[in-house]
Amino acid sequence: MGPLRAPRLASPFERALGAVARLRNATATSAGGIVVRHEAGVAHLVVGMRRRERDSVTWTLPKGTPEAGESREETAIREVAEESGLQVRIVGELESIRYTFVQHGTRIHKTVHYFLMEPIGGDLARHDHEFEQVRWVTFDEAPHLLTFETERALVARAAERIAGEALAAASAAGDARG
C-alpha cells in the first residue's frame, strides 16, 4: 500500500468533500438618520419595512450608500428623503454602527453613520420603492418593531439623548421664569 494522496478533483474550481470555502472580505459605508417629530409631547421616529425573501420582512431606519463626492451628511439627507419621502435637516450627529454580513460569497464589514434629524417638509406617502411601507412609531414601539439589535440600541441611546435635551430645556425655561 502506497502513501495516501488527496483525491484528484475534476476541476480546479471544485472543493474536496468537507472543505470550507474562504470568503472574500469587503467594506461598505452608508449613512442615514433617525427622523424625530413630537406629537402631543411624545417623540416619534420614522421606520421602513422591506420585504426579504418570500415570507420575511425587516423594519429598519432609513439609510443608504453614498454617491461619488457626497459627504456623510449629504448622503444621509438624500437617502432619508428618498426612502421616507420626507425633506429633513440634521440637528445632531449620532454614533456609527458596525456589523458584518455575507452576501454572494463575500463577507462585508459595514459601517453606517447616523444623524439625528427633523422633518422640514415632504410626505411619507412619497417614499421610494426601497421600502414597501414607511411609518411613524413612538420610541417605546421601536424596539418591538425594528429587526436589528444594532438599530434598536442606537434608537434607545437617541431616546435617552432626546429625553435629556427636553429635561435640560424645561429646566432652563424654569430658571428663566425665576
Q: Mind listing the domains of the chain with CATH numbers?
A: 24-177 (3.90.79.10)
The greatest distance separating any two alpha carbons of the chain, rounded to the nearest whole angstrom, comes to 98
pLDDT at 4 over 80: no
The C-alpha cell at 12 is 480546479
Residue 55 — pLDDT band, cuts 50, 70, 90? Answer: confident
pLDDT at 165 over 60: yes
100 CB contacts (<8 Å, ≥6 apart)? Answer: 107, 108, 109, 110
β-sheet bridge partners, residue 134: 48
pLDDT at 14 over 80: no
| Secondary structure element (H or E) that encloses residue 81, with its range | helix 72-84
How far apart, in whole angstroms, are the C-alpha atoms of residue 137 and residue 73?
24
Mean pLDDT score, 12-31: 75
The C-alpha cell at 22 is 474562504
Mean of pLDDT over the chain: 88
The pLDDT of residue 91 is: 96
Burial of 41: CB neighbours in 10 Å, binned 0-12, 13-18, 19+: exposed
How far apart, in whole angstroms, are the C-alpha atoms of residue 10 and residue 39?
66
With pLDDT > 70 as the criterion, what percentage of the chain qualifies?
81
